[in-house]
């Protein structure tokens, strides 16, 4: 399993790979297989050797296979010349995910803890500095507002905009600009305050400020990306 695979839940990764194997089989045989052993397919939830048990399906497994170190059992629920359905069954035997022909990613069927957490924002210190990441998102919201109203917003609470650098639900009111915040907003968990320096029908300017000695950024509609502000001399 590669590093890029580790971020995907086991059933998502398995079902995507299984779909590719099913597609290859159908191209060769004109139908989808009803049992796992008919596929040229190896899988384990983690490192494995090719001679490890359960990394390849055997005939006795039929249409249900639980690969090495996996939490889910995978069931070919139906298969014929036209279509197939593969289910990922949890420990209670419930179908938690499924995939069918034409699907680019599995469909999640059961709600699990953390599903309602927002994952839009990127924590401080990961690849893109906080103000650059924030201002890129703000630019999109400003553009949407201008398209709808013919002018740019003069206060943060005029926008339908949420932002935070701590785990939160998208419905959490605390991660939106508070009513009456005006031109200044410090998002929840952020190290920067963002100021709408000016805004009218033609243009706007947003600047970041901080008390941590970090670099500040500014953004205008003519900027292709947030611009680093020079440090005061």
The pLDDT value given to residue 4:
34
Residues 161 and 211: beta-carbon distance below 8 Å: no
Q: Is the pLDDT of residue 1 over 60?
A: no
pLDDT tens across 98-117, in order? 999 989 889 989 876 556 66
Position 7 pLDDT exceeds 70: no
Check the CA dihedral 166-170-174-177 and report its sign. positive
- pLDDT band (50, 70, 90) for residue 77: very high
Q: Residues 186-231: pLDDT tens digits?
A: 998 889 999 999 999 999 999 999 999 999 999 999 998 999 988 7
Model-level pTM greater than 0.85? no
**pLDDT for residue 47:** 87
- Whether the pLDDT of residue 233 is over 70: the answer is no
pLDDT mean across residues, the chain:
89
| Band (120; pLDDT cuts 50, 70, 90) | low
DSSP characters over 14-31: HHHHHHHHHHHHHHHHSS
Report d(CA 120, CA 75) in Å as an integer: 33
Measure the CA angle with vertex 132, ends 131 and 134; round to 5°: 60
């Amino acid at each position: 399993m590669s590093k890029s695979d580790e971020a995907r839940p086991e059933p998502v990764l398995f079902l995507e790979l299984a779909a590719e194997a099913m597609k290859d089989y159908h191209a060769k045989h004109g139908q989808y297989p009803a049992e796992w052993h008919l596929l040229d397919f190896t899988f384990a939830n983690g490192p494995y050797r090719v001679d490890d048990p359960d990394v390849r399906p055997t005939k006795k497994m039929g249409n249900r296979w639980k690969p090495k170190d996996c939490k889910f059992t995978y069931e070919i629920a139906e298969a014929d010349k036209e279509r197939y359905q593969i289910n990922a069954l949890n420990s209670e035997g419930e179908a938690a995910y499924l995939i069918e022909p034409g699907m680019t990613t599995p469909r999640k069927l059961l709600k699990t803890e953390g599903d309602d957490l927002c994952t839009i924002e990127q924590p401080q210190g990961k690849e893109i500095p906080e103000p650059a990441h924030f201002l890129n998102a703000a630019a999109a919201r400003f553009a949407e507002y201008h398209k709808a109203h013919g002018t740019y917003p003069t206060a943060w609470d005029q926008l339908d905009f949420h932002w935070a650098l701590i785990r939160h639900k998208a419905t959490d009111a605390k991660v939106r600009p508070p009513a009456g915040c005006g031109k200044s907003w410090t998002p929840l968990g952020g190290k920067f305050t963002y100021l709408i320096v000016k805004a009218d029908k033609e243009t706007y300017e947003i600047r970041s400020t901080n008390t941590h000695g970090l670099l500040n950024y500014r953004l205008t509609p003519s900027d292709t990306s947030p611009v680093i502000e020079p440090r005061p001399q």
